[in-house]
Amino acid sequence: MDEALKFHFVIDGDNFTSAGEASVEVKKKLRQLGFPPDVIRRVSIAMYEGEINMVIHARGGVADVLVYPDRIVIILEDHGPGIEDIDLAMQEGYSTAPDSVRALGFGAGMGLPNMKRYTEEMHIESTLGVGTTITMVVNVQ
């Protein structure tokens, strides 16, 4: 029962246009696997926000999705600048994104809060100058 289906993605940090393609792929796979729409949506949104963050802030990274019957685990790892103050970054409306990113419709300081909103668990490990790893869990009810 505890054997996970694993999916691995490389997130291209140089291409804002393609950001989100991994989340779309995960959404399709979860749909094929027959997960409830609500679970699929929460996983897709949380991962999509994470993907966008990795492209905006960290020149890309890797994403691993582990699918268990009762939960879905999303691990996003980048080697970007790291998050200086995680508590502050978690506040709605706080953003370090430049105006050029806001012109693209992101950087409103809602990315991390959205990831927390749609997941049951979220852990951030970040070291300045080294990178960030975010682990999120969505339970299947």
State the residues that interact with another protein by CB under 8 A. 16-17, 19-20, 23-24, 27, 37, 41, 44-45, 48-49, 52, 102, 104-106, 108-111, 113-114, 117
Kindly tell me which of 16 and 79 has the beta carbon lying closer to another protein. 16
When the beta carbons of 41 and 79 are compared against another protein, the nearer one is 41
The nearest distance, CB 109 to another protein, in angstroms, is 8
Query: To the nearest whole angstrom, how small is the minimum distance from the Cβ of residue 5 to another protein?
Result: 21
Q: In angstroms, give the least distance from the CB of 24 to another protein.
A: 6
Cβ neighbour number for residue 58 with a 10 Å cutoff: 20
Look up tokens 């699918």; give the residue.
67
CA 31/CA 57 separation, integer angstroms:
30
Task: Say if residues 7 and 24 touch (Cβ distance below 8 Å).
Answer: no
Write a three-state SS string for 74-115: EEEEECCCCCCCHHHHCCCCCCCCCHHHHCCCCCCCCHHHHH
CA distance 44 to 82: 23
Residue number, 7 or 16, with CB nearest to another protein: 16
Q: Which is nearer to another protein, 43 or 67 (CB)?
A: 43
Taking the complex as a whole, the smallest distance from the CB of residue 102 to another protein amounts, in Å, to: 8
